[in-house]
Amino acid sequence: MDNSNEHAGRKALVIGAASGIGWASARALATDGCQITLADRNIDGARERVAELGDPHTAAPVEVTDEASVQALFDQTGPLDVVVNCAGFSNVGLITDMPVEDFRAVIDVCLNGAFIVAKHAGRTLRKGGVLVSISSLNGRQPAAGMSAYCAAKAGLSMLTQVAALELGPRGIRVNAVAPGFVHTPLTAPAAAVPGVVEEYVENTALGRAGTPKDIAEAVRYLCSPSASWLTGEVLDINGGAHMKRYPDVMGHVMKLAAQ
């Protein structure tokens, strides 16, 4: 499908755009004609990406856990047609061992931050606008040692549906993409643990991990007028991994630590 003209003239904000899925999504939308604000807590990284894209794209700092920072970002962009929120991170630890502050840190970025972004996106998006969040396979598939991330992404899936209900009367669509294991800077520590990627691939129908471009193409579609009758959806993009089981990340980490 060729979406090359569907985004022409539209204004978009991509949060978490300095690397990984956020950068791939920003690049795809820019290629299709969107004017992008690339926002990230790593403002230097965002500026480097803008330099690659050139005019009329811009960079902006944001910390999604800080509502004042998010509001300032939306005040800066003005009315928008597209918002893509890719901010997130994870940690690993058994529930009985994990400090509460470590659990809260993941929830704060992946769920509370998503709520803050949705709140201000809902106030800023034009009629017919689109909000897309990046959820995860872990929103539906549990993994030992990943309680905070799994809980946050499961919550994000339901937040997506509630936002779709509330914003639908204004013609605003709200969806999410739920990737499986994708090679990004975020997943690099897990990928460096022997056995994790191999076990994921073994439990994936298509026999490979994902790339940021795989996810960006789904984001591109959900943001386009071609998806104009699609809202409240959490789209699994994982090579079929949801049909099998998640790798034993914690087990592989413990084996590595015991060496």
Q: Which residues are catalytic?
A: 149, 153
The DSSP string of 26-86 is HHHHHHTT-EEEEEES-HHHHHHHHHHH-TT-EEEE--TT-HHHHHHHHHHH-SEEEEEE-
What is the rounded radius of gyration, in angstroms, for the C-alpha atoms of the chain?
18
Specify whether the CB–CB gap between 202 and 230 falls below 8 A.
no
Which residue has 């709140």 as its token pair?
A: 119
How far apart (Å, rounded) are the C-alpha atoms in residues 246 and 259?
23
Judge if the upstream peptide bond of residue 56 is cis by omega within 30 degrees of 0: yes
Specify whether the CB–CB gap between 107 and 148 falls below 8 A.
yes
**Is residue 1 helix, strand or coil?**
coil
How far apart (Å, rounded) are the C-alpha atoms in residues 28 and 231?
21
Q: Tokens at residue 75, please?
A: 């005040």
**Is residue 167 helix, strand or coil?**
helix
